Structure 1
Amino acid sequence: MLPRFGRILIRLAATALLSLSATAPAIAQASAPAAATPAARKPAPPKLAPLKLNDPLPIGPQVRVGKLANGLTWYVQPNRKPENKLELRLVVKAGSILEDEDQRGLAHFTEHMAFNGSRNFKKHELVSYLQSTGVKFGADLNAYTGFDETVYILPVPSEKKQDVDKAFLVLQDWAQGLTLNDADIDKERDIILEELRLGKGAGDRMQKVLMPKIYNGSRYAERLPIGQEDTLRNFKPDALRRFYRDWYRPDLMAVVVVGDIAPAEAEKLIKKHFDGLKNPPQERPRNYATIPARTDAEALVVTDREAGPAGILIRYPVQPFQERETVGGYREQLVEALFSGMLNARLQELAQLPNPPFLGASSALGRLTPRYRSYNAAASLAGGGATAAIDALVQENERARRYGFTAAELERVKKTMMRTYARAWNERDKTDSSVHADELMRNFLEGESIPGIDAEYRYVTELGPGIGLDEINAYARATIPADSGKLVIYTGPSQAKGDAGAALPTGPELLAAVAAAERSEVRAHDEKAVAGTLMDKPPVPGRIVASSLDAHLGLTRLTLSNGVKVILKPTTFRNDQVLMSAARFGGQSLFDDQDMFSARYADTIVAAMGLKDFSPLDLRKVLAGKAAAVNAGLGSNTDVVAGAAGAADIETMLQMAWLKFAGVRRDEDLYKSFIGKQMELARNRQSQPGALFGDTLVATLYGNNPRAPRALRPEDIARIDLDRAIAIYRQRFSSAKDLTFILVGSFDVEAIKPLLATYLGSLPTPAIPTAYRDLGLRPVKGVVKREVKSGLEDKSTVSLTFTGPAEVTEMEELRLSALTEVMNIRIIDVLREKLGLIYGGGMEGSMTRVPYAHYTVGVTLPTGPKNVDKVLQATFAEIERVRSQGPDQGDLDKVKANWLQTYRKSLQENGYWLAVLQTSLTEGTDPGTILSFDKEVQSLSVADLKRTAQRYLTPENYVQVVLNPETAAPAAARVPASAP
């Protein structure tokens, strides 16, 4: 794959999506007029010798790469985002594909055992120690096992030398110091089996049928990392020790060190801890499984009663693939990304039709394993079923193969790609260490090149403009399969749920549909011209009538002539990111029961129909190469505007915000398309075991109140009215009255002021209600217990919900959060590690002042049906323990350490500041506490949390809902493969 900004950023450029929220950065950006800060200017790379396509891609100067005498590879990259933090990885080129027949699942089991005792850390000592340094198990400290690799992830603070040295000792023990004693292995079996149970369901049942075909009979189909239940229950401990001895060896390992550390110090620690590792005297060859090429056409229909949305996959022959290592190879992948971006944009257009052939689709070359890839076309099905989706997929591919693309399409996707790279270059010193660590891991595992963003930005700016339409179209002709062997797969519910109630397809019907689509006549793509800008001219500007400075928090507060207020927080946390938020009271609460579904969907319906005179597809074209997105929506009790942009696209973001108040584009065809998709999703949800469980939980908690926040059903969707939804949106967003817009990020205050006056100062502000309405929605009181029987697998879920009124203060919220965190430590320690009753799950707590002051604490614990009573008993025992004794001081200290680390990092994030400032307005809290959070954390005591537990975890008032299975699980249905 491509390096970080080649693989990840090109993928984003190819899809040309803007998926932004008030706390998420823009993913694609472009040049724009006005208000650009110096940080957002287009970089001017130094003059260098001309690029030669046959030159090898270099290892960039940002990273040091070496190899010890024993064959261990190491990477060191200094990086100060975040400060005082190290991202460490131990990467082993050994996964489930290497398991012997008596080791099915033991690669993954070995990974688990890395946390269960080693040469320098006794059982449970490792996790406890790391938690004491602020590392959170699961969220920070983690590991995973794949087919071909096992990776251990260890982020650690770097302020103290002894902590850093001990972290390297942890990696050393993982590499060759695990104790793997019989008792610990047997104890871990229950946890692994619970993880296996958690993964069971329709997807697992169907996967067992699909895998042999997807991997064309190769070893990959037989070596899923989770393994086989019988093996996990009965394997001999020596089989696990044999896997560890054979494959955990330095010539198959890499140590990755990225973060706030001197490179020389990192290299010294690597040599100290890993020079002594030994390879086994008789090394087993590390072979990679081959996947045979498919030469014939085959079809497979795999269904399940509990399956998710129906889908089609057409997989063309699998091809061996090796990372391209030259500048010319990098250019080839730019061509590939441009091609994929244009083709998938066309498929998105089809999904917007009034009666779309599919809900969504994609078509591109995709990786199956690090060494194989294939051309794939896939779609999630709409009401028209499999034939309509196959027709559209195959014909759109054939259209591109025969006629290619247009100059306008290529220009748009190039703009996005170019600006995406510019943003990556702008953020080169603000990229998180974890991103760099992942890139270095891919270099070791897959051969992905690591030239660095300076080189990559040069490649795209010098090579990109020379990629012409003729070359792209020639690539399309050569890449899109015209006549080849293929595997056609239909997956979905065992009963079709479309409006027409279409029968399930058969294998021969699928192949016949593909063959017919391949023979169809297609015309060249009809490219519709669109306007080049969002607005013909800016609105008549308002004025800034008041301004004040909050030096303590670095805020500028403005009042505009229309009454709209603005809070500005310029930062240097990112070089090319601006986030925006505004909220006021109102929202869905203002509308009566007969309008509740139209109100709930009003904003998404309006957004689905476009903006101003632009359909969503036209809007995407207008915004090509820009990073700006704005959403306006109705929450339960608030009206919210959220936006994000690159520093060069602030004006575009503000224009979009202005247009959100300027009216609604009514498009009945797009509305029908949107509602059809929602209806299909709602129908399909009803077959999921979790649906009945979730609906029962909400209904029980709120006494069947119709305004309870449950998922919508098909009959609810049918009650939505287009014109009423538009009227509701207009009612709330015809006025910006009482809105305060908060902007945080990389901008200059003086440069942005004229734009604020123009676009926010000219918003209409007629009088509208700006207060929420308390609908009287309250949870039940007392102890209420329900059982739900749904699902075919032998799995259960226990849910406990504690609710009640509360005196909400910032410190009280902090105490409740701390309580749930220490309870999660106990849940993992007792229910998982000691009793083996669960694999995951935990407790969450929250408080809110609106519409009334109250708290909610929820506990969710997946387990086996036979263990439900044990889980309940153990959970309530831990609740009683914390109520009577309070938490252990050590557990509270672990929570504090993690919070303080997270806090220091969050202080350097735009999204954190935006959230705190927005909360201060809607909740009436003091934003200044953002600077004293550490002192508040340090003040928490065991006695505080004991009182908090007594107040909120009351055994006299909770709702208990347990999900149990219906019957034994049947095998997935399958229509055998067929020839045409």
Structure 2
Amino acid sequence: MTYLKPKLFLKPFALLTLLLIMSNLLLAQDKLSQKIPVDSNVKIGKLTNGLTYYIRKNMKPEKKVELRLVINAGSILEDDDQQGLAHFTEHMAFNGSKNFKKNDLVSFLQSIGVEFGADLNAYTSFDETVYILPIPTDKKENIDKGFQILEDWGSTIAFEGGEIDKERGVVLEESRLGKGAQERMQKVYFPKLLEGSKYSDRLPIGKDDILKNFKYDVIKRFYKDWYRPDLMAVVVVGDIEVAEAEKYIKTHFEKLKNPTKPRPRIEPVVPGRQKSEAVIATDKEATNHFVQIYYSTQKASPENTIGDYRAYMVRNLFTSMLSQRLQELTQSANPPFIFGGSSLSGFVRGHEAYASYAVLGKGGVEPALNAIVQENERARKFGFTPAELERTKKTMMKGMDRAYNERDKTESENFVQEYVNNFLEKEPIPGIENEYIYYQDYLNNISLEEVNQYAAKVIPATNANKLIVLTGPEKADFKIPTSTELLTLAENASKVEVKAYEEKAVAASLMEKAPAPGKITAEKENKELRLTELTLSNHVKVILKPTDFKNDQVVFTGSRFGGQYLYSAADRNNAEFASTIVSQMGIDQFSPVDLRKVLAGKNASITPRIGAISETVNGQSSATDVETLLQLVHLYFTRPRKDDELFQSFISKQQAMYQNMAADPQFTFQDSVFRTLYKNHPWAPRVPKAEIFGQINEQRALDIYRERFGDASGFTFVLVGAFDIAKIKPLIATYLGSLPATGKSSTFKDIGLRPVKGSLKKEVRKGTEQKSFIRMFWNGEAPYSDSEQLKVQALIEVLNIKLIESLREEMSGVYGGGMFGNLNKFPYNNFSIGASFPCGPENVDKLIAAALSEIEKIKTTGPSEADLNKVKETWKQQYEVNIKDNNFWARQLIQSIEYGSDASNVLSYEKRIAALTPKDVKETAAKYLDAKNYIQVVLYPEK
């Protein structure tokens, strides 16, 4: 009888537990069925004419607002006689409108610090056209004009006949840039890839004969049909009040009208694949063989509910784990491919397809197909391991943690893209706060069985309908299979019995125990720059600058003089690739694959590099992973790893990658440029060639690496970001203070490498397309100073403004290109200024003449005050952003050490640019752009 009471008690308790479990399950299911909410920080509205708008106030960066005009119309909506005119319309938006005459728009924006191309831009794709306009908000009239520009783009583009005709040349030059081996091969397989869909013959660049000859009313018809408010969105994110932005939108866009009888905006359908096929496309100018497998295209599943978001997380887990497996395959001595991947991804809007690809290695088609087909099948049949899932969850959660930690320091342009995607593709925008909750609630609860079920479902069966595409060069020593043979190879690959993936155990931590720490022997504070300078017991110096620019970022850099030039020309290959080879082989007991595993859930990375005259190390971490960052630094200095198989893997992949590069006209041209400038000097800059990699000696390369990094004497390290000095100092003493250092001085060597002097012109003939490339150079010796460097940069930027006006806008002879250059202090005081322009062969001479004419004008009369002010304002706007950027400060501080300059110069930058005069630029042009010291190299087609 004594047991009756407990039994009577257990029955209602068990019932209650069951009810609670069922209730929780029902609540969980109910939550998963809820719609994904919209981020409360963004205001979404719709005007009476159907225009949608998104507004968010965001203070990163300050005094800036990102504006976007989004048109839900692209090349897919073009009529047969309009192919290329969606993109052409985008060009015409910068060539005059109701309120902005030709060139006035670009000129005004340059005057307020908005750079054409870098800031002001637009793009056209199959399905949309997006205009990009960042505006400084320090003056109200800038904002007024910014919204006026958006309105004009959306409703009053001028389409003046003369401007259309001039722009034809610019668009045709853009089309010319895309021509070559890849474009010719794409024409072979692209129609088959999108067979049965209008996408197959609506590439955004269009057709040259239409671009050359269309009548004015044809492009006006496209604009009238598709630039209408019900297909538009305005996105405003930045340092502006929401109510103010909304008022601007209503003022400028409420008055726009839709057509009385609007054409329906039909969403094209890509039909599923009905049979398996193979397409072969070869070209004598192609550089690599590339195999792709496309399975049947299907409609993409919408993401409307929280359950859909959770499913998206499952998909990301699957994609990441499969990608890591494929990466591991490239680590063998004879890898089946150079690199490859598999995923279910968006194809064209509203559609997705499972696809695999591989860049072929030395073994050719068969091992690559075997690898990707069988790795897909392995995942489909056996799924993944608990360890793989756990690591990937940690990595994904770490990424979400960082995004959440930076939620108040996220740049406006990141939000803008989210809202553009929401309008165009209905991509959810729950906001980082909600996404963080979803990750916390659901990520750890996603089971291995669930991910494996997803893999079994999403990876097509080996006998599924597919399109196999093989592209690449025609080579005597490479057998190109027929279409039938290619299908047979894939079928044979699918018949091989695969086994489950075997997980290799790795250590739980980077270091079993910390090294014996050094000491901080001196400490100095720089209050002006808010720096702390440490000297360690091994005489290594460390500069610390804690900031609040980001909440979860630490930037690391280090440098000292030394470098490749300390070695003989016979050792060049070993010295040049030493640091790359170590990165490929790993550190201590960890290969790169093992390193990724042990660092799962952490965000820290380091890259060592041996340059021409210095050794550098660069990296970054989250605020919580600084110790891991410093451990990586310590290991890269003290324990580089030798791995014969990974070395051979690197050599094999590089040889395969570069063995056909000489077939590319651009490759041959660049090689000729270097040979012309440096007369085959053994240390001249060069383009990589396959034979170089066969000459590398593994042990010698490792010895050189150890010579350069095995002794830290002379290194200065800089850390900038979110850390506490008191807490980081013990870590610095432990991991940097313990680096081996003999006290031996390290310096660079001037090997006498100099560009040729005098006047020289050379022609290079390579390639079948009617494409040319102009390179112009002015080089010589000149004393270095920061002030002179500023003048040289001003000269280059002023000339870029004038060259855009002349060569592009007036002559319609180029799409892109421009001037570049620097003063250099090491290894000797010198200047190097150049220009590059892709163009048509028929325009080479007149473009060179026009460019030289603009240079002579600057040399003779100097720039206008207005043009120089455009440069100054652009620099001022960039500086205001940079001065609150951790990477910028790290670069400035390490450069001040290298150049022996005053780091506080960064604070006087605005005063120094304000002091520049047109006379300074004129004198600088005369000093450096001497017609008697001019090298010209031009690429022409073979015929």
User: Could you tell me the TM-score, scaled by structure 2's length?
Assistant: 0.96
- What's the CA shift for 1:502? 3.0
Is 1:75 the counterpart of 2:54 in the alignment? yes
Q: CA deviation at 1:907?
A: 0.3
Given that 1:808 and 1:849 are in contact with CA atoms closer than 8 Å, whether structure 2 keeps it comes out as: yes
Secondary structure in 2 matching 1:266: helix
Cα distance between partner residues in 2 of 1:226 and 1:94: 14
2:923 equivalent to 1:947? yes
Which amino acid counterpart does residue 723 of structure 2 have in structure 1?
F
Which structure's relative contact order is higher, taking Cα pairs within 8 Å and 6+ residues apart? 1
Deviation at 1:720, TM superposition (A): 1.0
User: Cα distance, 1:714 vs. partner?
Assistant: 2.2
One-letter amino acid matched to 1:473: N
* 8 A Cα contact 2:287 2:658, kept in partner: no
Partner of 1:32: none
| Match of residue 633, structure 1, among 606, 609, 619 | 609
Letter in 1 for 2:82: Q
CA distance in 2, matches of 1:344, 1:635: 31
Q: Check if 1:312 corresponds to 2:288.
A: no
Contact 2:714 2:745 in 1 (8 A): no
Provide the residue aligned with 1:287 in structure 2. 266
1:833 aligns with 2:809: yes
Q: CA deviation at 1:462?
A: 0.5
Secondary structure of residue in 2 paired with 1:466: coil
SS in 2 for 1:766: coil
| Residue-by-residue CA offset, 1:35-92 (whole Å, 9 max, x unaligned) | xxxxxxxxxxxxx999710000011111000000000000001100000000000000
Shift of 1:341: 0.8
Match of 2:43 among 64, 67, 73: 64
How far the C-alpha of 1:768 sits from its partner, in A, is 4.3
Deviations 1:731-755 (CA, angstroms, capped at 9, x unpaired): 1111110111100011000010000
1:17 aligned partner: none
How far did 1:323 drift? 2.8
1:360 alignment partner in structure 2 = 339
Structure 1 match to 2:215 = 236
**Rounded Cα–Cα distance in structure 2 between residues aligned with 1:523 and 1:366:** 26
Alignment coverage as a number of residue pairs: 916
Contact 1:742 1:914 in 2 (8 A): yes
* Aligned residues of 2:181 and 2:283 also touching (Cα < 8 A): yes
- Per-residue deviation, 1:715: 2.4
Residue 465 of structure 1 aligns with an amino acid whose one-letter code is N
Distance of 1:326 and 1:301 partners within structure 2: 42
CA deviation map 1:822-873 (0-9, x unaligned): 1001110001100111111000011111100001001001111111100111
Determine the structure 1 residue equivalent to 2:23. none
Structure 2 letter corresponding to 1:490: L
Alignment partner, residue 580 of structure 1: 556
Whether 1:856 aligns to 2:832 is: yes
1:558-569 alignment, distance < 5 Å:
558-569=534-545
Match of 2:31, SS? coil
Aligned to 2:894: 918
Alignment pair present for 1:223 and 2:199? no
Question: For residue 491 of structure 1, what is the aligned residue in structure 2?
Answer: 471
Amino acid at match of 2:111: S
**1:692-711 alignment, distance < 5 Å:** 692-711=668-687
Q: What secondary structure, in the 3-state scheme, does the structure 2 residue paired with 1:52 have? A: helix
State the identity %: 51
Paired with 1:745 and 1:797, the residues of 2 have a C-alpha distance of 43
The structural deviation recorded for 1:509 is: 1.4
Alpha carbons 2:361, 2:657 under 8 Å: kept: no
Q: Distance in 2 between matches of 1:345 and 1:717?
A: 26
Structure 1 distance, partners of 2:597, 2:28, is: 36
In 1: Cα distance, 2:613 partner to 2:703 partner: 18
| Cα deviation digits, residues 106-140 of structure 1 (max 9, x gap) | 11111111011111111111111111111000000
Q: 1:933: how far off?
A: 0.4
CA distance in 1, matches of 2:902, 2:356: 52
Match of 1:437 among 394, 416, 423: 416
Provide the rounded CA distance (Å) in 2 between the counterparts of 1:817 and 1:683: 38
What amino acid does structure 1 have at the position aligned with 2:608? A
1:907 matched to 2:883? The reply is: yes
Alignment partner of 2:145 out of 158, 166, 187:
166
- Residue of structure 2 in register with 1:347 after alignment: 326
Structure 2 residue 490 is the aligned partner of structure 1 residue 514: yes
Pick from 754, 764, 768 the counterpart of residue 788 of structure 1.
764
Deviation of residue 308 (structure 1)?
A: 3.2
SS in 2 for 1:819: helix
Q: Secondary structure at the match of 1:686?
A: helix
Structure 1 residues 203, 518: closer, same or farther in 2, change over 3 A? same
Q: Give the aligned residue type for 2:607.
A: N
- Partner Cα distance (2:378, 2:301) in 1: 29
Aligned equivalents of 2:116, 2:292: Cα separation in 1: 37
Of 806, 811, 827, which residue of structure 1 is paired with 2:782?
A: 806
- Compute the RMSD of aligned alpha carbons: 1.1
**Contact 2:338/2:657 (<8 A) preserved:** no
Q: 2:794 aligns with which of 818, 821, 833?
A: 818
Q: Which residue matches 1:599? A: 575
- Say whether the 8 Å CA contact 1:586–1:769 is kept in structure 2: no
SS at match of 1:661: helix
The higher radius of gyration belongs to: 2
Report the AA paired with residue 470 of structure 2. Answer: Y
The equivalent residue for 1:615 is 591
Residue equivalent to 1:538: 514
Letter in 2 for 1:543: K
Distance 1:116 1:631 in 2: 45
SS at match of 2:659: helix
Q: Secondary structure at the match of 1:57?
A: coil
Mapped to 1, the partners of 2:618 and 2:238 lie a distance apart of 32
Of residues 250, 256, 260 in structure 1, which corresponds to 2:229? 250
Q: Is the 8 A contact 2:539 2:743 kept in 1?
A: no
- Equivalent residue number for residue 380 of structure 2: 401
Letter in 1 for 2:802: R
Q: What are structure 2's unaligned runs of at least 5 residues?
A: 1-26
Query: Letter of the aligned partner of 1:456 in structure 2?
Result: E
**C-alpha contact 1:802 1:957 (8 A) present in aligned 2:** yes
Say if 2:657 is the partner of 1:681. Answer: yes
- Whether 2:244 is the aligned partner of 1:268: answer no
Superimposed CA distance per residue, residues 3-51 of structure 1 (whole angstroms, 9 cap, x where no aligned partner): xxxxxxxxxxxxxxxxxxxxxxxxxxxxxxxxxxxxxxxxxxxxx9997
Q: Which runs of 4+ in 1 moved over 3 A?
A: 48-51
Aligned-residue offset at 1:712? 2.4
CA distance in 1, matches of 2:901, 2:671: 34
Question: Matched residues in 2 for 1:454 and 1:909: separation?
Answer: 24
CA offsets 1:665-717 (integer angstroms, 9 cap, x no match): 11111111100111112212211111111111111111211100111222222
Q: Which residue of 366, 370, 374 maps to 2:349?
A: 370
What pairs up with 1:634-653 in 2 under 5 angstroms? 634-653=610-629
1:741 aligns with 2:717: yes
Matched residue type, 2:286: A
Q: Within 5 Å, which residues of 2 pair with 1:458-497?
A: 458-482=437-461, 483-495=463-475
Which among 99, 123, 130 is matched to residue 120 of structure 1? 99
Q: CA deviation at 1:347?
A: 0.5
Once the two structures are overlaid, the 10-residue window that deviates more, 766-775 or 445-454, is: 766-775
Matched, 1:335 2:314: yes
In 2, Cα distance between the equivalents of 1:267 and 1:944?
45
Alpha carbons of 1:82 and 1:817: their partners in 2 closer, same or farther (altered >3 Å)?
Answer: same
Indicate if the aligned counterparts of 1:295 and 1:484 stay in contact, CA closer than 8 A. Answer: no
Q: SS of the residue aligned with 2:117?
A: coil
1: CA distance between counterparts of 2:80 and 2:115? 35
Answer yes or no: is the 8 Å Cα contact 2:553–2:622 preserved in 1.
yes
Is this contact kept in 2: 1:75–1:255, CA < 8 A?
yes
* Larger displacement relative to structure 2 (371-380 or 307-316): 307-316
Pairing partner for 2:162 from 180, 183, 205: 183
Residue by residue over 1:535-568, the C-alpha shift from the partner in whole angstroms, topping out at 9 and shown as x without a partner, is 0000011111111110000000011111111100
Q: CA separation in 1, counterparts of 2:439 and 2:289?
A: 39
Cα separation, 2, equivalents of 1:734 and 1:51 = 60
